[in-house]
Amino acid sequence: MTTSPEINAERLWADIMTMGAIGATQGGGSFRPALSDADREGRNLFRYWAEEAGLVVTVDAIGNMFARREGTDPSLPPLMIGSHLDTQMPGGKFDGVLGVLAGIAVIRALDAAGVTTRRAIEIANFTNEEGARFQPGVMGSGIFAGVLALEDALSRKDDDGAMLGDELARIGYSGPLPVGGRAVHKYLELHIEQGPEMEKAGAMIAAVSNSSWGCSGFIDISGENGHSQTAAMSTRRNALVAAAKLILEIEAIGAENEPAGMVSATVIRNWPNNRVNIPHLTKLSYVAVHATEEGRAKIIDRIEAAARRIAGETGLTIDATTSHYRQRLDLSPELAGQVLEAAERLGYTSMMLPTLTSHDALSMTHLCPTAIIFVPCRQGISHSEKEWCEPDQVTAGAKVLLEMAMIAANEV
């Protein structure tokens, strides 16, 4: 006898808090960078909960984990639900984690109700979505979808020189399976919004329509080394001074583009980084995003123009390059409509939104129809120890995810 599946809200919340305790920070967040010891512990806990729920867990060569509940027709490509368990340094308890653990909550709900599905359902934990330790981000899903190369990813190094492939092996998650190369029916990802629009609108659920135009910029500033206590001020060629000027310029450009676009300098590295030496080399990087391709191009042009001007003013050499371009991607309108319909059935206020940030779901658009379900986060804060999502918001997202899963997993 079957009953209507129901999300166990208390268990899901407890799971999120328990996962958040792995790598817990004093500020209330989590510190689980990709392939760290804490990431291994989080992966092990996910595996335990998945196997406890009767799922078969497999791991591929980039460390992506898949927990599978078989369907009545194993020949059909599976429905995939997922996100990631790695965090920023530090990050919060919900970014990525919500999408993975809500997937397990969906499976538990189906099992408790005695409900079978035509298609298998796989819960995915994708490797290194954040890109905090190893670049680029959205790595595991990108390789799975065929838009990034496995060998290039395995050779990436972190700031301490540790190689990604070696770290995968060290934590025991260099899996035997090939990455990707198989069909997926549809992909669903539940995520916090990472912005303030839902909170402003009073919406409990959002369906994501499309991504934005993004890129990363890298700026090298070359000056001249010298003694910080003896070199004449009039002759100093301090790379750090030019960097400071450019950082302020980039921030002003970002402020002028809000809300359609944003940009900030986010990384600075300085050599020799010695108290008694004038810096001869400073490296900056920034991340830019805009709702339009033209807007992104204008941001880049303005930053490069500022770099040329500051180079002229200081007499230093400034080289600016841009990479990691992310083009706009449109998610499935059909699935977005289903998200809104499910929210209405469940009595939740809803809206359509674009996403400014990257998600594993954007990689998966290259393979199959994809949906992102947003729930609000307090004041739009994410990538922060202050990141927070209320229990009723978590539950609402999981209920919509369950509705979506039951539809997609039973399609012919």
pTM (2 d.p.): 0.94
CATH code of the region 9-211+329-408: 3.40.630.10
CATH level 3 topology of 213-326? Alpha-Beta Plaits (3.30.70)
- Residue-level pLDDT, tens digit, the chain, 412 residues: 567 999 999 999 999 999 999 999 999 999 999 999 999 999 999 999 999 999 999 999 999 999 999 999 999 999 999 999 999 999 999 999 999 999 999 999 999 999 999 999 999 999 999 999 999 999 999 999 999 999 999 999 999 999 999 999 999 999 999 999 999 999 999 999 999 999 999 999 999 999 999 999 999 999 999 999 999 999 999 999 999 999 999 999 999 999 999 999 999 999 999 999 999 999 999 999 999 999 999 999 999 999 999 999 999 999 999 998 999 999 999 999 999 999 999 999 999 999 999 999 999 999 999 999 999 999 999 999 999 999 999 999 999 999 999 999 999 9
95 is in an annotated binding site: yes
Q: CA 143, CA 59: separation in Å to the nearest integer?
A: 14
- Are 60 and 177 in contact, with CB atoms under 8 Å apart? yes
191 is in an annotated binding site: yes
Task: Report the alpha-carbon angle 195-196-200, nearest 5.
Answer: 155
Q: What tokens does 154 get?
A: 């395995």
84 is in an annotated binding site: yes
294 burial level (CB within 10 Å; 0-12, 13-18, 19+): exposed
Only one residue has tokens 């809000």, namely 258
280 is in an annotated binding site: no
Of 144, 1, 120, nearest to 60 (Cα)?
144
Q: CA 249, CA 256: separation in Å to the nearest integer?
A: 11
String of b and e for 33-46 (b: at least 16 CB within 10 Å)? bbbbebbbbbbebb
